[in-house]
Structure 1
Amino acid sequence: MSSTPSDAARLLGSRIRDERQRVAINQMELAELAGLHFTNLGKIERGQANPSLHTILRIAGALNMNPATLLDGMTADMLPDRPHKVTVADLIRAREQGTVDPDRA
């Protein structure tokens, strides 16, 4: 994980915190329900941790919500250390235009 918090991590954490507060439970209660340590949940809510897929699913399950709701609208552009800005659509378009050598792509 990058040491710089990403926009995606901050947005995910904010969504989790908002839902937790909406259902009126504290971090310790949600952490217990999700099988996490409350300090880890706190880091996630502050956008300081990059939770695994399993952790996101545990949190969403504990909040009785669709995990897609937590990730809705997020894109790779929200990551600070994205190595490539080219997408598969860009690559296909370049191949069709003959500007990319298919053996090097």
Structure 2
Amino acid sequence: MSRAKLAQRADMDVRHLARIEAGDGNPTLFVLIQLTTALDVKTETFVKGLTSADLPENLTPYSEADFRRELRRRGGA
């Protein structure tokens, strides 16, 4: 399936899909669901078995403490 066709079926911009495919974009859960729906596969197909060890070396897992710190920074809690 072409990138253009997949983007159309997933109702997303083809440039966004290209960035994800190139590893330059990080899809949200919503986008993963759009893509798996367009491909007619289960969402778990994309994420099953992944762990924090699969993250690039320059990234670290996002902890609950990180989330709370970000909320405080934004004035949310």
Structure 1: gaps (5+ residues): 1-24, 85-105
Query: Cα deviations across residues 31-87 of structure 1 (Å, max 9, x unaligned)?
Result: 011011111101111111100000000000000000101112211122232158xxx
Q: What is the TM-score with the length of structure 2 in the denominator?
A: 0.70
Q: Which has the larger radius of gyration?
A: 1
C-alpha change, 1:83 and 1:42, in structure 2 (3 Å) is: closer
Name the structure 2 match of 1:77. Answer: 53
Tell me, yes or no, if structure 1 residue 62 matches structure 2 residue 23: no
Name the structure 1 match of 2:13. Answer: 37
Alignment RMSD (CA, Å): 1.9
The residue correspondences of 1:7-18 to structure 2 (distance < 5 A) are none
Q: More relative contact order in 1 or in 2 (CA 8 Å, sep 6+)? A: 1
Q: What is the TM-score with the length of structure 1 in the denominator?
A: 0.53
C-alpha change, 1:75 and 1:33, in structure 2 (3 Å) is: same
C-alpha change, 1:37 and 1:74, in structure 2 (3 Å) is: same
